[in-house]
Amino acid sequence: MRKHDFSLHGDEDETEINLTPMLDVVFIMLIFFIVTASFLKEAGIDVNRPDAPVTESKPEDANILVAIRANDEIWIDRRLIDPKALRANIERLHAENPKGSVVIQTDPRSTNNMLVTVMDASRQAGVYNISLADN
């Protein structure tokens, strides 16, 4: 009978995994993805936006700004206005800008009575397009 000489060294040669083909495949895939990624074009459309003309506010479109302060003072065009002369001032400004509307800017501490006074004077002056502005 013959004895077989099994050495541990001989078994290691047979169980070794060769990683060279796997690394070759990984490098080939990496090169493929790098090359194809640089040639991909994103899908979409080119939009040609029109140039918006610069418009200046025309005097006929200008609004009449009425400011009511906390102490119920009425200001129009940086001038203090007496509540009795409010209707006449709004009529004059509305005659200059017939398409303009009245914009009322109120202080949170002003009274509702003054707001109603300004709105009534605007309606009496013939301006029915009245807006309230936030501070």
Domain ranges of the chain: 9-39, 59-133
pLDDT in tens, 62-119: 788 999 998 989 999 889 999 899 999 999 999 988 888 899 998 989 888 999 999 9
Q: Is it the case that residue 1 has pLDDT exceeding 60?
A: no
- Which of 76, 77, 74 is CA-nearest to residue 115? 74
Q: Architecture of 59-133 per CATH?
A: 2-Layer Sandwich (3.30)
Write down the pTM of the prediction. Answer: 0.54
The pLDDT of residue 12 is 54
